[in-house]
Amino acid sequence: MIDLSAEQVAAATGGRLIGDPQTVVTGPVVSDSRQVVPGALFAALPGDQVDGHEYAERAVATGAVLVLATRAIEGPDGPLPVVVVPDVTVALGDLARSVLGRLRSAGDIQVVAITGSVGKTTTKDVLAQVLRPAGPTVWPEASFNNEIGLPLTVLRADATTRFLVLEMGASGIGHIDYLTAIARPDVAVVLVVGSAHLGEFGGIDAVARAKAEIVTGLVPGGTAVLNGDDQRVAAMAAVAPGRVVLFGEEAAAAVRAVQVRLDDEGRARFDLTTPVGTAPVHLRLVGEHHVHNALAAAAAALELGLDLADVAEALTTAEALSPHRMHVTERPDGVTVIDDSYNANPESMRAALKALAVRSAGRRRTIAVLGEMLELGPDAVEAHDAIGRLAVRLNISRLVVVGDGARAMHTGAFQEGSWGQESRLVEDVEAAATWLDQELTEGDVVLVKSSHGAGLWRLGDRLAAGGADAR
């Protein structure tokens, strides 16, 4: 973050300062006291399990020069240096908005924001790797895409930052409006409107309205980069305040993937076709669904001024940076683990199963270990049933369904008509691990996927570590 005095922090957040107004924050803004370094600002956020205010004294003792809190905090030697605000989360957003405004006034920083029901995190990781050679780039850690994570990402930018890549998530109408009020993008990318959080939104049309908020939140004259293969996304062009660029495989798209084909490991090759020329791309990411993620990153990078040849080269070398997202581990015992356990919805489940089928090419035994897809609302049973049936149709060798919430996958597979013992329902992650320890053999390809709350990421870690308990 840029250096700010305590007085400036108080002014940006509308808070009441307790302490020396000339104290200068020279370090990062953090919400975890274990991440404090000298000169930091510690945001004492409330949490489900702990209250950040309880860690303020530790944060100051380890180097924080200022605390953002909802009350005065007494330390061993008197009051801690605190900016008192009604709501720390809101104040964090106010501070991020103020800092970004200062950076925009002083330099040439460009902000690109990404949303969509599927692929946000992978796309921001890929885009960051494309932009990084062209200038200092800041992008979110993991899935920092909400009212806390986004401001923390913005606050990592400084006077040298040329590109600020942001991920914007939503589980309701107005959520992205709030985020764009903190950081209005110069380029807004919308990937797909799908079933993620469908239960919270109440319907697919509401999901589309929520995702469109990133387009209406653009700076005046900003560019909307839209998936032309998704009708609900393409329709957002009607509310764009400036230029619209479509990406996809359809002929109407300005940035297209032509002659898409997969290699033996399920990695896509294609010709990246744009208004300024064509260049070959061979992705390292596993799964054909990453073609659209790469196209979105390419379209955004081209709008930000990068050359086509540089974009294509960077796409070819880009890797999955965030854990549990189609991360492939080749174990010494000959087992291949595809860990996509960070999150799941029907669209991403289908994509992962297809990637598993392609990866085996009919020559290796495939095992899909699937857990519950959360927040799907009244369509949850039908959605899980359809995934179980798809596993059969793709000729996946074994299906292991984890947890009662995902039971419909098991019944769907069984009712598809061709399976008997190929599908099994197990109680929990430990039961799945026990079965896999007994059953896995050299050459097997294992996919692990569920919503994060279902906990299969623990199994993904364990399998990637070679079967040892990695919890």
Determine the Cα–Cα distance for residues 146 and 178; give it in Å rounded to an integer.
9
> First and final CA of the chain: distance in angstroms?
34
Domain total in the chain: 3
- Could you list the pLDDT tens digit for every one of the 471 residues in the chain? 899 999 999 999 999 999 999 999 999 999 999 999 999 999 999 877 889 999 999 999 999 999 999 999 999 999 999 999 999 999 999 999 999 999 999 989 999 999 998 889 999 999 999 999 999 999 998 779 999 999 999 999 999 999 999 999 988 899 999 999 999 999 999 999 976 555 566 688 888 999 999 999 999 999 999 999 999 999 999 999 999 999 999 999 999 999 999 888 889 999 999 999 999 999 999 888 899 999 999 999 999 999 999 999 999 999 988 888 889 999 999 999 999 998 888 988 998 999 999 887 778 999 999 999 998 888 899 999 999 999 999 999 999 999 999 999 999 999 886 666 799 999 999 999 999 999 999 999 999 999 989 999 999 999 999 854 433
| Residue 297 and residue 358 in one domain | no
| Residue 225 and residue 297 in one domain | yes
| Residue 28 and residue 174 in one domain | no
| Residue 140 and residue 277 in one domain | yes
| Residue 430 and residue 346 in one domain | yes
Instruction: State which H helix or E strand residue 282 sits in.
Output: strand 277-286
Give the bridge partners for 366, in sequence order.
Answer: 445
The CATH number of the domain holding residue 211 is 3.40.1190.10
- Residue 26 counted as domain residue: yes
Instruction: Report yes or no on whether pTM surpasses 0.75.
Output: yes
- Residue 385 counted as domain residue: yes
- Residue 92 counted as domain residue: no
| Residue 312 and residue 331 in one domain | no
| Residue 282 and residue 169 in one domain | yes
Of 288, 317, 346, which marks where a domain is finished?
Answer: 317
Of 269, 286, 317, which marks where a domain is finished?
Answer: 317
- Residue 97 counted as domain residue: no
| Residue 112 and residue 245 in one domain | yes
| Residue 222 and residue 362 in one domain | no
Give the bridge partners for 79, in sequence order.
Answer: 74
Sign of CA pseudo-dihedral 193, 94, 144, 163: positive
The CATH number of the domain holding residue 413 is 3.90.190.20
Query: Which residue segment(s) compose the domain that 434 sits in?
Result: 327-464
- Residue 470 counted as domain residue: no
Sequence-ordered list of residues with C-beta below 8 angstroms from that of 272, at least 6 positions apart, any chain: 255, 256, 257, 278, 279, 280, 281, 294, 295, 298, 308, 311, 312, 315
Of 286, 317, 348, which marks where a domain is finished?
Answer: 317
